[in-house]
Amino acid sequence: MVMMLDVIIRQAEDDQLPIVHRIMREAFEEYQDILNPPSGALREEVDDIRKKIGSGGGAILVWRKGEPIGSAQYYFRDDYMYIGRVSVLAHVRGTGIGKKLMNYLEQIAQDHQVCVTRIEVRKSLPNNISYYQKIGYKILEEHEYPQKTDGWYVMEKEL
């Protein structure tokens, strides 16, 4: 658990996965009519999260004044830790919550002797791409959806 000013970041317990799910859905809702194809986050259910993180991963929650305001999921692959569904509620964006959340996740990787983290970011969300570049992520791979309506970058950070 990490406490920063009035923010607490901690691992989500299994009974808190519905909160992780709710935060993710609220945060990704703004992309519902923007992304083509739509984000898979809007189709995921709590059991989908449980399956993704069940074999060596986890989820985190960010709390401020007793209210959940952010979440993310992670799991380990070969020689890196994958970070996904990074979600910060709209009314607290721009306050440094995302950076604190990412720092916390990167520390989890280091605690597991993993020196690389990866994320995936839609090409049609240039502000998100720029954000991750500012905190040290570099584009590793570029992919395109079969419909050729969008694509995504795999971005990586060496810790």
Q: List pLDDT tens digits, range 53-105.
A: 998 899 999 999 999 999 999 999 989 999 999 999 999 999 999 999 999 99
- Predicted local confidence at residue 1, as pLDDT: 57
Q: Taking the chain, what is the end-to-end CA distance rounded to the nearest angstrom?
A: 20
C-alpha to C-alpha distance for 22 and 133, rounded to whole angstroms: 27
pLDDT at 37: 92
Helices 46-53 & 17-28 angle (0-180, nearest 10): 110
Place of tokens 């020689």: 79
Q: What is the pLDDT of residues 6-21, one digit of tens each?
A: 899 999 999 999 999 9
Rounded Cα gap, residues 141 and 153, in angstroms = 6
The SS3 assignment for 141 reads strand
DSSP 46-87: HHHHHHHHTTTEEEEEEEETTEEEEEEEEEEETTEEEEEEEE
The Cα–Cα gap between 127 and 41 comes to: 19
**Of 100, 111, 73, 85, which is closest to residue 31 (Cα–Cα)?**
85
